[in-house]
Amino acid sequence: MTIHRVAALTWRAACVVAAIAGAAGAQGVRISGTTSMQFVELRTLVRDSIKSSALPGTGDWRTTTSGVPALCATDAIWCTFERSGPTVSAAPLLQDLSVSGWGWMEGLSFRADVRGRTQFGSDGFTYPRANDHFNVLDAYAELERGAWRGRLGRQWATGGLGVYNYDGANAVYRYEGLTVEGWAGRALLAGLNEPYTTSLLNAIETITPQQDGYIAGGRARYRPDPLTSASLLYQRVFLADHSGLYSERASLDGSMRRYGAQWDMGLVYDFATDDWNEARFRVGTAGLGPVAGSIEYRRSRPFFELWTIWGAFSPVGFDEGRATVDWRPKGSPLGVSLRGAYRRHDDPQAGFELRTNGWRAGGDVMWTPSDEFAATGSYDVDIGSGASSEDVRIGARWTRPSGLSLGGELSATQNIYEFRIGTGRIFGALASASIPVNADLRVSADAGIYQHALTNGAAGPDWTQKRASLRLEWTLGRDPGAGRAP
């Protein structure tokens, strides 16, 4: 499918929606869009072979003369190893269109967000989902009547469990500080916006859901005053034939500002495994003087829907303690933030000789002498099971009141992978700019280059690559919230 085809599809969809709105006598229709294009380079890792006689040593696990690990099957003539392959690139293009219409009758409005995708170039790398050319992200009619609000169509359920997309109905009732909400409909896969039986999964996973999923959920949110709020959410996704569930979870989140502090808690419970996916308790100072800080306890255990077998593998969680300290005197252009965390996994009761803890530390320095200019520096180190890294960045941004913005960033990163060979440093430079052409058109662009250098004699793939993106944000029609001159 060509770019012309994608553009035609998305434009046609927008026109249909706008025409419906117009024919229905909408008093206002607004169409906005974002055209986003990236250039992504990727250095692939390819498998190569070498004669076993050319490798020193014996046994299955050997090393090439250049230090690259190789696997030699017993009595085989050839050994295999991985090396950097050609650099492949893709230039994915996203075209988002948002259409909203209102004015048919009091409280009635319509909204649709559609997305078209394609990519330029085809040297072997297809950007994720670039071949999924058209998506309706949401499209719903909304009726707002006093304390009630109803929606019908494709929409999102957002809350402590994350963001779920579904085709169905949603109703909200508000009474003073209490909001009660319920939703139901055909569930879409989180992060994919496609039905559970989508063919997109078949391409990359052998075991896929065999039935559509249906979602039903509800939430009660209480906000007795502007500084206190709590939300309880329950949601299940069940199979079309009601024979079982894909997921059943609940979340409880609370937030409060009292006694000069900000208190937060968040709990996510998985009924299928009888485990807490997330538990967070955080307390932080709420703007007392130039020094602010927070401490947090977090428990995290991964969540898997029941169409996968991963939940039956008894994944374990970890307990983590976090702390932050921020220093920024009032009126001072200088601000400093420090952060740190330490985590320890539960005993997996399987295998041996593996790191079971991790820690991270970091800090930011920000200098903002005016609203127009800001410079930052940051350092982060993350040591843990699976992978570790060290990252340094410095950046600056200059933003004119007109909206013109120019920025730049230099970075240096060191990665250490526990499960993959490839220790090295990556030095990067990124430049970005954003220009508001007029009130209805804005152009943003950035480009960067990242140079990979292997260190400590490590062997591995070369990740040197270039990145660039270009975004065009535009609006047509009356904007009910543009804040223009009366």
| Sites for other proteins among residues 387-426 (CB under 8 A) | 387-389, 391, 393, 395-397, 399-401, 403-405, 407, 409, 411, 413, 415, 417-421, 426
Stretch that binds other proteins, among 4-12, 13-21, 109-117 (CB under 8 A): 109-117
| Residue 244 interacts with other proteins (CB under 8 A): yes or no | yes
Cβ pair 418, 402 in contact under 8 A: no
Distance CA 95, CA 6 (A): 8
Among 56, 58, 123, 226, binds other proteins (CB under 8 A): 226
| Residue 303 interacts with other proteins (CB under 8 A): yes or no | yes
Cβ pair 170, 177 in contact under 8 A: no
Which lies closer to other proteins via its Cβ, residue 15 or residue 55? 55
The SS3 call for residue 54 is: helix
Among 8, 227, 295, 453, binds other proteins (CB under 8 A): 227
Alpha-carbon distances of 231 from 159, 272, 472, rounded to whole Å: 8, 21, 37
| Residue 475 interacts with other proteins (CB under 8 A): yes or no | no
Other Cβ atoms less than 10 A from the Cβ of 318: the count is 17
The SS3 call for residue 380 is: strand
Least distance in Å: CB of 338 to other proteins? 13
Distance CA 236, CA 234 (A): 7
DSSP 104: S
Task: Print the binding letters for residues 54-73 with other proteins: x by CB under 8 A, - otherwise.
Answer: ------xx------xxxx--
| Residue 273 interacts with other proteins (CB under 8 A): yes or no | yes
| Residue 282 interacts with other proteins (CB under 8 A): yes or no | yes
Backbone φ, ψ for residue 241 (5° rounding): -90, 10
Interface with other proteins (CB under 8 A), residue total: 180
Distance CA 455, CA 422 (A): 9
Stretch that binds other proteins, among 2-10, 16-24, 242-250 (CB under 8 A): 242-250
Contacting other proteins within 136-165 (CB under 8 A): 137-138, 142, 144, 146, 149, 155-156, 158-160, 162-163, 165
Question: Which tokens sit at 40?
Answer: 């992504």
Among 319, 382, 440, 462, binds other proteins (CB under 8 A): 382
Least distance in Å: CB of 78 to other proteins? 13
| Residue 466 interacts with other proteins (CB under 8 A): yes or no | no
| Residue 471 interacts with other proteins (CB under 8 A): yes or no | yes
Distance CA 419, CA 210 (A): 33
Alpha-carbon distances of 119 from 128, 228, 472, rounded to whole Å: 10, 47, 16
